[in-house]
Amino acid sequence: MSSGILGKITNIDRRILYWILFVVLAVPFISPIGLPVFVTPTSQAMYNSLNSLKKGDVVVLGINFGVSAWSECLPGSIACVKMVVRKEAKLIVFGMGTTDVAITWNEIMSKIPAFGAGTYKEGDDYAFFGFLPIQETTINLMATNFRQVFTKDTKGHLTDDIPMMKNFNGAKDCKLVLSSDTGDVGDYFIRYWQVPFKVAVGWIGIAMNASTGMTYIRSGNLVGLLSGVRGGAEMEKLIGEPGSATTNMDSISTSHLLVVIAVIIANVAYLATRRKA
């Protein structure tokens, strides 16, 4: 009987495996499991930098990823903005490289009650300047003359007339930069904001950016690094608010566990039937 079962396992219809995988992937999205997430030092460092903010400190958020990268970059960005709001710091937001930056910013605000409730107010607590089509040279100029790059916000308000922008004109007035991107925009902030002006820079990136980010962590140019969906889940754990990254990690972990179990069973079945033969 056992050999018959083992024989069936070695010849199982792959469609059955696909359906099992489908169910395993779906369960965490229907009812999150909350599997343990180990917090890496780079994510802890990002949290510590955000937690050290004082009321009124200015944070610059560069949304440099499009809707296609939401799964990896959006959860970490939301968690970081939640910390900025908690600490009552000011937030300046713009994006480079993707024209759908406004869609992403609206999604971030929709996940944070303080924006909807009006307790974190546009103009007083945050300003959104929208899409910036030019990158490295503009980041350099922005470091010393923000108003020359952005004369008004997306609502048409002159930068000089926005209350929270009265005393801000560049890197010297900034406490922390958060660069959330799929490419190398974080490099620009390091070159033109961190090195000459000693502004703290944190990087929220896709997983493949981690190798580049680690060199900056070790050199002291980055104060924190969130790597892909895993980094987002770690930040959600640190702020005590599980979100989409935590759910995604549940799905990833259970699917990987299924693959490991399937490989073990398949090899045991193969070796058993081969020995009998």
CATH number at 139 reads 3.40.50
Asked whether 201 and 180 are in contact (CB, 8 A), the reply is no
Asked whether 108 and 73 are in contact (CB, 8 A), the reply is no
The two tokens of residue 35 are: 């599997």
The tally of domains found in the chain comes to 2
Block mean pLDDT (10 aa), the chain, length 277: 61 79 78 80 97 97 93 95 97 90 96 92 96 86 94 95 95 96 90 96 91 92 94 94 83 80 80 70
The answer on 264 and 197 residing in a single domain is no
Residue 246 in any domain: the answer is: no
The answer on 24 and 157 residing in a single domain is no
Q: Phi and psi of 116, rounded to 5°?
A: -70, -35
**How many beta carbons lie within 10 A of that of residue 133, not counting itself?**
8
Dist CA 159 CA 168 (whole Å): 10
State the pLDDT at residue 44: 97
Reported pTM: 0.85
* Domain span holding position 91: 41-241
Nearest residue to 46 (alpha-carbon basis) of 276, 205, 225, 243: 225
Beta bridge partners of 90: 58
Residue 101 in any domain: the answer is: yes
State the pLDDT at residue 224: 96
State the pLDDT at residue 1: 43
Dist CA 221 CA 191 (whole Å): 9
The answer on 198 and 61 residing in a single domain is yes
The two tokens of residue 133 are: 């089509």
CA 122 to centroid of chain Cα atoms: 23
The two tokens of residue 17 are: 């495996």
The answer on 16 and 104 residing in a single domain is no
Three-state DSSP class for 153?
coil
State the pLDDT at residue 216: 94
Beta-sheet strand order (sheet of 90-96): 126-132, 90-96, 58-64, 176-181, 200-205, 224-227
